Amino acid sequence: MEQIFQETELKPPKKLSPFGKTLIYVTGGLAAGVSIVCIPFVSPALRKICLPYVPATTEQLAGVTKALSGRSGRLLDVGSGDGRIVFTAAKLGFKAEGVELNPWLVYYSRIAALLTPQYRDTKFYRRNLWKFDLKPYENIVIFGVEQMMNEFEKKLLKETSSGTVVVACRFPLPNMIPIETIGHGIDTVWKYVVKR
């Protein structure tokens, strides 16, 4: 038994072939790259209030379009994601902008805007919503989560002007009374007007 152990111990380790080394480096690099790309999508779950990326449905876009009918001026999409609301608003003639915390979604939206001539005037900011100034906007769209709507409503009432139209999707504002409700279920859109 001792002799077998000594023979095994004395054998030199096998060297990796160049292909084996390359395979290890490529696999490790891909794993690191996937981890880096996934961090901005996973990190919201680590915050107190999580605003996940969930693309707007066709029905929600139609509801937002109806809620904004007859409006103009500057529009802000809070949690702009892939830019769908901003691009829809730009088509409607708004000076449309988005604020988003996820850097990959901001880069995606900016590239999409550059590649489409009618969206080149849109802007996307990578900022924290709670530190972003809402004063310049006459129209605000938000796809929020229930846990944040109370604080967001307070921010709206503190920073926006009388007459500002707010369109809430998926979850209503808790205390303001909507002037119009469009759609039903997950596709419900609530339209509010800030009054002073």
Q: What angle do CA 174, 179, 183 make, to 5 degrees?
A: 85
Minimum mean pLDDT among 35-39, 41-45, 66-70, 151-155: which range?
41-45
DSSP state of 180: E
Minimum mean pLDDT among 45-49, 107-111, 132-136, 148-152: which range?
45-49
Average pLDDT score over residue span 58-62: 93
**Residue 117 CA to its chain's centroid (Å):** 22
The whole-angstrom separation of Cα 192 and Cα 173 is 9
pLDDT digits (tens, 9 = 90+) for 8-35: 555 666 777 777 667 666 676 666 666 5
Q: Which parts of the chain fold into alpha helices (H)?
A: 2-10, 18-42, 58-67, 84-91, 103-115, 146-159
Q: What is the pTM of this model?
A: 0.75
Structural domains in the chain plus CATH codes: 2-46 (no CATH), 58-193 (3.40.50.150)
Is the Cβ–Cβ distance between 183 and 168 less than 8 Å?
no
Q: What is the pLDDT of residue 47?
A: 45
The whole-angstrom separation of Cα 119 and Cα 126 is 18
Judge whether residue 184 has pLDDT over 70. yes
Helix, strand, or coil (residue 166): strand
Listed in sequence order, the residues at least 6 apart from 77 whose beta carbon sits closer than 8 Å to its beta carbon are 83, 85, 86, 89, 96, 97, 98, 99, 141, 142
Judge whether residue 46 has pLDDT over 50. no
Q: What is the pLDDT of residue 35?
A: 58
**Residue 51 CA to its chain's centroid (Å):** 7
Q: Which residue has the higher pLDDT, 5 or 27?
A: 27
